Amino acid sequence: LQGENQRYYPKRELASHVLGFVDLDEKGLGGIEYGLDSTIRGKSEKIVVMADARQRWFDGGAAQKDQGANVVLTIDEKVQYIAERELAAAIAKTHALAGTVIVQNPNNGAILALANWPKFNPNSPNDVKNEARMDRAVSAIYEPGSTFKLITLAAAFDQNLIRPEEVFNCENGAVYVAGHRIRDHKPFGLLTVSDILAQSSDVGAIKIAIRVGAPKFYEYIRAFGFGQQTGIDLPGESRGLLRRLENWTPVSIGSISMGQEVGVTPLQLVTAVSSIANGGTLYKPHVVAELRRGDQPMSLTGAVAPVEPKEVIRPETAATLRRLMEGVVLNGTGKLARLDGWTAAGKTGSAQKIDPATGRYSPTQLIASFTGFAPINDPAVTILVSLDSPVGLHEGGMVAAPVFKRIAEQVLPYLDVPRDVPLSPKLMQAAYKHPEADESATLEDFTPVDFAAQRDRPPAQEQNSQPEPRKPSITVALDEGGDIAVPDFRGKTMRDVTEMCLRLGLEPVLVGSGLAVDESPADGAKVRRGAKITVRFGTSEEAAKATGKAAKSNAKNRRR
């Protein structure tokens, strides 16, 4: 008997849109499986046999098999898990039809996580509808709405046409462009350029775009990569929708300046925002880190070949935009994206969808989004969150910004990114109760499990319980009959602590930087799944001293 190979995906739904799937003949039909099928598959194995006159085999041998290549991805398994978990929680809370989360390294274009909803199990891809297998991050086209105002302001700042403190008259909420009246989402009077972005004024963005002029504005839109493929090493990428300049109508500059009359993909938008984060350089997004055949690395050619990055705006322009985007989070429409322990910058978007029944923009069906990065001065990640048609609250600042916050506050400590702002006093608490502020706008915790992606299930609700006070300024939850023993984190790095907590289903609250020196509840205490564990970090000397004290204490307990 001759054995046959069969492709099996042990993590099931995890990163399924990136990996893709195969048919019965092991031929790739999606994702990396399709894009690199000839590279991964190798050549078919041939078997030479000898047979007698009655076709009975009596001798033979196998020809040398040409092994396919191994593909190493930029996707980080744990960052991918966090992105998928928080996206699933957001879908359950908002009842959105679909959604996308992308986490990118802005300094080289590497994709750390790419999550879509609906999702599918590549071991049984035919069990879902075709749209569930669609990689929305690279294929779905939508009008970006107010997030596109970043491109409008980037063009104006780069041409030295505006200043952050310059005041524009926003006409109390309405402006005429080529005889067409365009209304703002709310009436504004006099606003500085900083406030135009922070409050997301449509009229202000239109006036800035008119100052730039259609030809120059079009040049910058193309330079940021819109209307063309990014070149990512995944199949099925869309170019988006951007009409040639000669096909613009007199009102087009007004519509496009606020994110209408232009179609983008989530990947195009996150890549453009990454260029603002890193100082003005546009990198090709990619998911393939390297190809290997055995122990030997292979040269990257074709779709996976690296591309020389290009400067799209001056570093001074990028620095100005980062400062204005921080204002969106601190004082504007993105307040719910504000991080505890890190600076953050971003832009909200609430793009109306066309109602097929009327052919007009729907007042209730929107694409809610938030795109941002953190920390501001040395960005480590750019994160895009997009939710299609959320029910109830549907503004990007209300439903997408909190998802950005939850993902960033888990990914940044996992990546050992130092905190650059003091923690709020509330984060010094490790209790089972919910945070007191903005409870209605945040998402319920989605119960962490092992990184082998489990079947879809609704987010688990955290259980409120009364914590026991230890100090006046800190509330801790001691042993309350849970079944998870708190590990000894002393001497561990932030990354190690985060990984251990995620595996156990605990929520880490990290204070300080360096190595772990103290934790609450103490190691050995029994807690419930989803409990918050506060871990304080300090210098290596403090960690060594704390570890030594723990060893002495354990030795003394053993003598007793």
The pLDDT tens digits for 339-394 are: 999 999 999 999 888 877 777 887 778 999 999 999 999 999 999 999 999 998 88
State how far the Cα of 242 lies from the Cα of 252, in Å rounded to an integer: 11
State how far the Cα of 360 lies from the Cα of 502, in Å rounded to an integer: 45
pLDDT value, residue 169: 94
Residue 179, number of CB atoms within 10 A of its CB: 7
Report yes or no: 402 and 440 within 8 Å, Cβ to Cβ: no
User: In the numeric block, which tokens belong to residue 314?
Assistant: 């001056």
Sketch the domain layout of the chain as residue ranges.
Answer: 77-422, 426-559
Task: Evaluate whether 77-422 and 426-559 have a shared fold.
Answer: no
Report yes or no: 242 and 265 within 8 Å, Cβ to Cβ: no
pLDDT value, residue 510: 79
User: In the numeric block, which tokens belong to residue 31?
Assistant: 């994702």
Beta strands, E only, 259-306: 281-282, 288-293, 296-298
State how far the Cα of 36 lies from the Cα of 184, in Å rounded to an integer: 47
pLDDT value, residue 437: 38
* Residues paired with residue 136 on neighbouring β-strands, in sequence order: none
pTM score, two decimals? 0.77
Give 321's contacts (C-beta < 8 A, 6+ positions apart): 150, 153, 154, 157, 276, 313
State how far the Cα of 355 lies from the Cα of 370, in Å rounded to an integer: 23
Q: Count H helices, E strands: the chain?
A: 16, 23
pLDDT value, residue 545: 80
Residue 322: half-sphere exposure toward Cβ, Cα within 13 Å: 24
pLDDT value, residue 41: 76
Q: Which of 520, 538, 477, 507 is nearest to 340 (CA)?
A: 507
Max CA separation in the chain (angstroms): 96
pLDDT value, residue 46: 62
Handedness of CA 245, 247, 252, 256 (dihedral sign): negative
DSSP secondary structure code for residue 508 in this structure: E
Tell me if the domain spanning 426-559 has CATH number 3.90.226.10. Answer: no
| SS3 state at 236 | coil
Quote the radius of gyration of the chain (alpha carbons, Å): 26
Residue 502, number of CB atoms within 10 A of its CB: 21
pLDDT value, residue 538: 83
Run of H or E residues at 177 = strand 174-177
Ranges in the chain, pLDDT < 50: 1, 430-481, 557, 559
Architecture of 77-422 per CATH? 3-Layer(aba) Sandwich (3.40)
Give 483's contacts (C-beta < 8 A, 6+ positions apart): 526, 528, 529
State how far the Cα of 1 lies from the Cα of 7, in Å rounded to an integer: 20
pLDDT value, residue 45: 61
* Residues paired with residue 192 on neighbouring β-strands, in sequence order: 167
Residue 158: half-sphere exposure toward Cβ, Cα within 13 Å: 23
| SS3 state at 290 | strand
